Chains A and B, each alone.
Chain A
Amino acid sequence: MSSTAKINHHRINGQILPQPCTHLAEFRSTNESRPFRAFQDCLRVKPPGGRAAIRREPNEVPHCGACGDAARARLYACVSCASVSCYAPSGPLHAVLHAESMPPGHEIAVDVDRAELFCCACRDQVYDRDFDAAVVLAQTAASTLGLSSSSSTSATEVASVIRFQHPANLRKRRRVDYRPWEPDLRERTLVENGSSPLERPDKAPEFPRGLRGLNNLGNTCFMNSVLQALLHTPPLRNYFLSDRHNRYFCQDRSNVSAAASASASAGVNASRRKVAVTTTNTDSNGKSRNCLACDLDDMFSAVFSEDRMPYSPAKFLFSWWQHAANLASYEQQDAHEFFISMLDGIHEKVDKDRRKPHSQGNGDCCIAHRVFSGILRSDVMCMVCGFTSTTYDPCVDISLDLEPNQGGSGKMSSTKAGHPCNGEAGYTNSRQHTGTSTLMGCLDRFTRPERLGSDQKFFCQQCQIRQESLKQMSIRKLPLVSCFHIKRFEHSSIRKTSRKVDRYLQFPISLDMAPYLSSSILRSRYGNRVFPFDEDEPDASNDLSSEFELFAVVTHSGKLDAGHYVTYLRLCNQWYKCDDAWITRVNENIVRAAQGYMLFYVQKMLYYKASEKQVAR
């Protein structure tokens, strides 16, 4: 189904719009969108968030004008004369009869229960942008305060109201084409004079660069596993290897500012914290101020050098323990917690000096957020009136619950038996459970509409009281690198015990995140209508920016408090196992069959965004 009939389509705002059949085209050119406007008043949406239907009066029971039948599965109202006819493939086709018996112009009808256009001559469902706009207008009227569903409100006004709900701090920078850079003669001389080749140009490296074991410093495999993934996170690696955080400059600058603050507080009764800072700065060893990004820079240099002996990330451990005092202990540690703590450490240290904007959503604050930060959208809909409240939150990863225990124990059932489509009008989700848990299954659950319990009533701005609500998450902006954290920890409050969930989770090597984007989720919530939703890009390459490739898998084996972390890295399409100091090559099957705890995916295609700064010449 997916690849059929893609001819005869053209895109409007990122969506395919099929070419209208001759009857629809004829009808449009004669009537423009006038008849659709007339139908707008007849669009009824109930319950809130549900499907649109066509009813002249709210309680009208439509029936076929020819046979009087009201129970047929399909009843169509002619858009020219509004007469209702039935269409039952096994029985009478009064809708077709109507089209044939009337003068030309009565071929197009609308399904009264589903608000779908139908061509009675072609006997097929057809699609029209203006009609869809009218339907969406009716459907979304309930979700927004003060938006009337009168026919005077135009489609463009609706679009602007829907777009109003986008985060103000998400500026869209236009994309620029990739232009390969070649150094000119002067630049080439500069490069050759200021550097030395890593190896002989004719000798290709036998092993990928940056592949180097990390010594276990005593129960630090939780740290080593995450470090290996980060050392090979393409945008992060590129940032540090391009010398974007130069540890010498950074230390110089921090020493200057620390000295300034020390002298300023010297005469005053210094607070305890300030005393600690100056002690660290000016101690006898001449140690410079703690900066996790500097230590990471050091590590990148060491790991990407030619030295293949395992590296000891001791300085990094020391710096991290200074940053994350609550996690500083030689014992039980969690890799994901370390990951979060470390990103926070890089953010904080980089941010303090340069007064960059704190907004994490567009990643302008530091490299950690530039790489990992995405934006999640949360919609909460009042189940009584349909009013929807939307909030946006930045996130550096997505933590996913494993699906609850399925009936079959690991037996695979084909997804072909399930529903081939993913979207439905209204809020229901049709994805079928298979025998095995999958990453996409977890993401489906993450983005499915969730009924908030009666003890979690949400305050509805329209009703002005707490009401039962429906909540749905979606991804407003994808990060450059998506980190998925699988919650393999189960805590039972009854038994006061914790246990690890060893259940296998299938994860793909190539992952398309398109179904989880806010645009897709919103679109399917309103019946997959042809309508520009939120962040649809005007170019067809929108598809590519949601495709991701797996490059690192952090696995945990063993028990909750006595286990071991190992990372699998994908370099030059070959998988390597990084087990502390031991680097070995492994087959892709080993990785696919492994028990994933943290999965790292990078965007397949990276785009260059137009710089906001003037380019210096």
Chain B
Amino acid sequence: MANEDNQSSHDQLSSHFFEDFLDSIIVDVASECHRIARLGLDRNLEEEEEEIRLSAQARVRVADPSNSSEANGKYIVDIFGQTHPPVASEIFDCMNCGRSIMAGRFAPHLEKCMGKGRKARQKVTRSSTAAQSRHSRNSPASAYSSYSNSTPSTSRLSNGTSSLAGEEYSNGIYEDH
């Protein structure tokens, strides 16, 4: 019997303490919010919530297949009424070597033309004068960063399927940036 009495008085005491704590915390919050409101320091929550609501609504509407979705694919007509081939067909002269290059193939051309990039460098290192030519002015790419693990603290997204993706260096000698 004594134990049960102790138990219930313990329960009463602990619930009493809990209520006091709770009251105190509630007053903490009320006092702080009162100050923020009176001093004009509160955030414009209505605007923030409106933005969230509009975005949620937008997602629903976009997900709905019956809605006309944005034009996709490369055979669409742009707002000027033009169509364009999937690979850019404009022709111009390479500013490094002077040859006529098609726009859509300019980057891979320039890479070899300037002696940069992995494929170009692999050719250089395989040659008999590998050590000498690497430090010559003709291959100015003195530093190259390997993508997957050299900068763990940064966030990198790449684009485009490339035939070079997944290839490893055969010699593996390069200066890390």
Chain A positions within 8 Å of B, measured between CB atoms, are 1-2, 4-6, 9, 15-18, 71-74, 111, 113-114, 116, 125, 127, 207, 211, 213, 215-222, 272, 275-276, 279, 285, 287, 308-310, 312, 314-315, 317-318, 321-322, 325-337, 399, 412, 414-416, 419-425, 434, 436, 438, 440, 485-489, 491, 493, 496, 498, 500, 504, 506-510, 512, 514-515, 520, 523-524, 527-528, 530, 556, 558, 560-565, 576-577, 580-593, 597
Contact = CB atoms under 8 A, between A and B. Distances in A.
A401 to B, nearest CB: 9
A326 B145 contact: yes
Nearest to B116: A328
Question: In the complex, which of the residues B49, B96, B159 has the most CB atoms of chain A within 10 Å of its own CB atom?
Answer: B159
30 contacts: A1-B37, A2-B44, A16-B38, A17-B39, A73-B20, A73-B27, A114-B28, A114-B31, A217-B107, A276-B140, A285-B98, A314-B95, A314-B103, A328-B111, A329-B116, A330-B110, A332-B147, A332-B159, A334-B156, A412-B52, A487-B154, A487-B155, A488-B157, A500-B157, A528-B39, A528-B41, A556-B159, A563-B160, A577-B71, A590-B58
A275 B136 CA distance: 11
From A434, A556, A558, A581, residue with most partner B Cβ within 10 Å = A581
Interface string B127-143: 00000000001001111
Contacts of A508: 47-48, 51-52, 55
A585 B80 CA distance: 10
Interface in B1-51: 20, 23-24, 26-29, 31-49, 51
A248 B92 CA distance: 22
Contacts of B103: 215-217, 312, 314
B92 A314 contact: yes
B177 A326 contact: yes
A592 B140 CA distance: 43
Contacts of B61: 589, 593
Contacts of B59: 504, 592-593
B173 interface: no
Contacts of A330: 107-108, 110-111, 117, 162, 164
B168 interface: no
A217 B106 contact: yes
A582 B76 contact: yes
Interface in B72-123: 74, 76, 78-80, 82, 84, 87-88, 90, 92, 94-96, 98, 103-108, 110-111, 114, 116-118
Contact of B79 (A111, A576, A591): A576
Given A312-B92, A422-B42, A583-B79, A563 B157 contact: yes
B83 to A, nearest CB: 9
A235 to B, nearest CB: 24
Given A213-B78, A582-B78, A423 B160 contact: no
A488 B149 CA distance: 15
A47 to B, nearest CB: 16
Size class of B's contact patch?
Answer: 35 or more
Contacts, number: 319
B74 A510 contact: no
A334 B116 contact: no
A326 B160 contact: no
B144 interface: yes
Contacts of A520: 41
B30 to A, nearest CB: 9
Contacts of B111: 328-330
Interface string B141-175: 11111011100101111111110110000000000
Given A421-B36, A585-B79, A589-B62, A310 B154 contact: no
B70 A590 contact: yes
Nearest to A414: B49
